[in-house]
Amino acid sequence: MLEQEISMPDAGLDHNVAFQMASIIYRLDQVLRDTVLRELDLTYVHFRVLQYLYQHDGVMIGQLATAIVVRQPVLSRVVDQMQSRGLVERRPDPEDSRRMRVYLTDEGRERFQHAWPRAHDLLERSLRGFDDKDRDHFLELLHKMAGNVLK
C-alpha cells in the first residue's frame, strides 16, 4: 500500500529560511576561502577567530566558542593550531590563573587587517541594492531571529 503524501506547506527550499541562509553563508565562505584566506593560509574558522579577537581581545575559550558558534573542543584544537602559527596566544586570566584567555598576536592582527578589506568588499557586494534603511532592518531581523533560535 502506498503512503499518502502529507501536505507540508512551505516545504520547498525557496521558503526554507535556514537553507537560504546556509547557502549564502556557504557561498561567501567559499569565495573568501578561495581568494584572500588561501593567500594568507587561513581557514574560515581562523578568520572568524581573528575577527572576533580583533574586537574583543583577551576572551576565554568558552566565550569565543559561543560567539563564533564553534563547539569548544573543536575551537580548542583550532586555537592550538593558530597558536603554533603565531596568530594567537593563551595567557592566564589576571584574576584567576587557572583560567586561560586568548589574545591576538601582532601577526594575527596583521593577517586580519590584510584580509578584512577584501572580506568587507565581498559582504558589500552581497548587499548591493540595499540602502541604509534596508541594511538596518535586515540586521534587526537577523538579531531578532538569532534571539528566537537561542531561546
What is the per-residue pLDDT across 78-119, written as a single tens digit (0 to 9) for each?
999 999 999 999 999 999 988 999 999 999 999 999 999 999
Q: How far is CA 19 from CA 11, 15, 23, 127, in A?
A: 11, 8, 6, 18
Average pLDDT, the chain: 91
The number of angstroms, rounded, from the C-alpha of 121 to the middle of its chain's C-alpha atoms is 16
- C-beta atoms surrounding 79 within 10 Å: 23
Query: Cα-flanking dihedrals φ and ψ of residue 98, to 5°?
Result: -75, -20
Q: What DSSP string runs through 13-34?
A: GGG-HHHHHHHHHHHHHHHHII
User: Distance (Å, rounded) from C-alpha 114 to C-alpha 112?
Assistant: 5
Domain 28-117: assigned CATH number: 1.10.10.10
Does residue 2 carry a pLDDT above 70?
no
Domain ranges of the chain: 28-117
Does residue 1 carry a pLDDT above 60?
no
Does residue 66 carry a pLDDT above 80?
yes
pLDDT at 63: 95
Percent of the chain past pLDDT 70, that is, above it, reads: 91
pLDDT tens column, 26-46: 999 999 999 999 999 999 999
